[in-house]
């Protein structure tokens, strides 16, 4: 049975907590707008319109590149601690890591089972990352 060892592997846990947010921020934010600079809207007109539908004021100050980067950094720092996401993901992790992986380990060993589990988790069609729905 695989057991977490937080004291021994704390670097791996930090990477697992923060790397997805960093990659989304870099790939979805910075690299996208370097490739498609015409899509960068610092005035946030569409965002203000969307917020206006929910009753927010329409006279929000325009964003600057500096403020967008700061918002992204804050998002990266707080994203591992957002409780609702952790709660919903926890049920899926119980299934993949707590039920399916031990069965695979018995059938084919730790390395092959972990690799197969990772590949199957990565190509699963029923749970795409929510970032693509925005």
**Token pair of 125, please?**
């069609």
- 72 and 108 co-located in one domain: no
Q: Which residue has the higher pLDDT, 68 or 114?
A: 114
The DSSP output letter for 81 is G
Answer yes or no: do 77 and 88 share one domain: no
| Same-domain pairing of 97 and 127 | yes
88 & 101 share domain: yes
- CA-CA distances (angstroms) from residue 5 to 1, 2, 25, 29, 95? 13, 9, 29, 34, 20
Q: How confident is the model at residue 60 (pLDDT cuts 50, 70, 90)?
A: low
Residue range of the domain that includes 104 = 83-134
Write out pLDDT tens, residues 82-101. 766 667 677 777 888 888 99
Q: Quick one: 14 and 56 in the same domain? A: yes
Shared domain for 14 and 41, answered yes or no, is yes
Range 73-105 burial, b when 16+ CB lie within 10 A, else e:
eeebeebbeeeeeeeeeeeeeeeeeeebbeebb
């Amino acid at each position: 049975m695989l057991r977490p060892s937080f004291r021994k592997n704390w670097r791996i846990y930090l990477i697992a907590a923060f790397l997805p947010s960093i990659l989304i921020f870099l790939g979805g934010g910075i690299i996208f707008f370097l490739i498609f600079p015409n899509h960068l809207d610092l005035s946030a007109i569409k965002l203000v319109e969307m917020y206006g539908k929910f009753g927010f004021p329409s006279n929000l100050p325009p964003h600057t590149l500096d403020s967008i980067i700061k918002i992204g950094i804050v998002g990266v720092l707080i994203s591992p601690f957002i409780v609702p996401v952790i709660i919903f993901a926890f049920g899926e992790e119980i299934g993949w890591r707590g039920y399916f992986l031990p069965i695979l380990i018995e059938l084919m060993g730790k390395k092959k089972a972990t690799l197969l589990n990772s590949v199957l988790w990565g190509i699963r069609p029923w749970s795409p990352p929510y970032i693509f729905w925005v």
